[in-house]
């Protein structure tokens, strides 16, 4: 909405970048706390989180480039822009990075995934608030009372156009997912299902929110947006993990160990 907050000398502090930073810091802090509670090597988790963040940013940028491939071919400099990230690219790359790191350290990947996913949801909640400040990821036009207008200089659709604030809807959804995952991990009957529940809930939520999105540069696969298409497989992967855990007691024992 108002992305340029204030200046520190020649540096402008943007709302988008600030909220991303806040999300990362909170996710970092929460991951350590949860790892300690779960009896994991929380003192050594910093390296994995840093690894995940680097891979996440690269993955988010690469998936964005894939959705605007024609534009990228005409103007490759787009890769240097501080705008243009697709969350799913970051999530997928981050999961791969976590798996690689756990294999390297000989850690139980699923135990760490169950700890990290509540933190990921928390970070995403703050990140989507950042999207709102920047004006990106906006919704379809509306005349309803809850519609918002973005300044002409923002990444929104333009001055005078009211749209659904899908960024705030996504943020609220992520915070709700965070609350559910945190409770499941700390007090639920099956804390070993936490990572799987993240895939199910985020996949479903993202699929539905995409119907309300109005920004055009999102890519399309068949009748779905790129993120909707990916959401189908994310949801199915989570559902499969839940089913598999419930029907294979050996996995339950391994993950809950």
Report pLDDT digits (tens) over 136-186: 899 999 999 999 999 888 888 887 899 999 999 999 999 999 999 999 999
Q: Confirm if 42 and 32 have CB atoms less than 8 A apart.
A: yes
Task: Report the distance separating Cα 114 and Cα 120, nearest Å.
Answer: 10
Residue 127 burial by Cβ neighbours in a 10 Å radius (0-12, 13-18, 19+): buried
Place of tokens 């480039």: 65
pLDDT at res. 80:
57
- In this predicted model, which residue has the larger pLDDT, 160 or 71? 160
Taking the domains of the chain in order of start, what are their residue ranges?
Answer: 4-187
Average pLDDT over residues 120-132: 96
Q: Which of the residue ranges 85-99, 160-174, 207-221 would you say has the lowest mean pLDDT?
A: 207-221
């Amino acid at each position: 909405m108002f992305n340029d907050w204030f200046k520190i000398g020649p540096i402008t502090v943007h709302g988008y970048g600030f909220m991303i930073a806040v999300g990362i810091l909170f996710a970092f802090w929460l991951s350590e706390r949860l790892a300690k509670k779960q009896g994991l090597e929380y003192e050594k988790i910093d390296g994995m989180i840093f690894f995940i963040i680097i891979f996440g940013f690269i993955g988010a940028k690469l998936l964005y480039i894939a959705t605007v491939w024609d534009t990228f071919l005409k103007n490759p400099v787009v890769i240097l822009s501080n705008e243009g990230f697709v969350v799913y690219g970051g999530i997928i790359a981050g999961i791969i990075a976590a798996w690689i790191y756990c294999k390297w350290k000989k850690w139980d990947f699923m135990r760490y995934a169950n700890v990290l996913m509540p933190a990921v949801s928390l970070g995403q909640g703050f990140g989507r608030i950042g999207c709102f400040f920047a004006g990106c990821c906006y919704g379809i036009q509306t005349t309803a009372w809850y519609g918002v207008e973005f300044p002409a200089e923002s990444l929104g659709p333009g001055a005078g156009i009211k749209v659904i604030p899908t960024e705030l809807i996504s943020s609220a959804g992520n915070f709700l997912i965070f609350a559910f995952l945190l409770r499941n991990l700390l007090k639920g009957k099956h804390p070993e299902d936490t990572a799987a529940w993240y895939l199910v809930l985020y996949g479903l939520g993202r699929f539905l929110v995409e119907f309300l999105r109005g920004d055009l540069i999102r890519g399309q696969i068949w009748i779905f947006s790129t993120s909707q298409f990916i959401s189908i497989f994310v949801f199915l992967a989570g559902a499969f993990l839940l089913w598999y855990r419930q029907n294979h007691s050996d996995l339950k024992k391994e993950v809950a160990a």
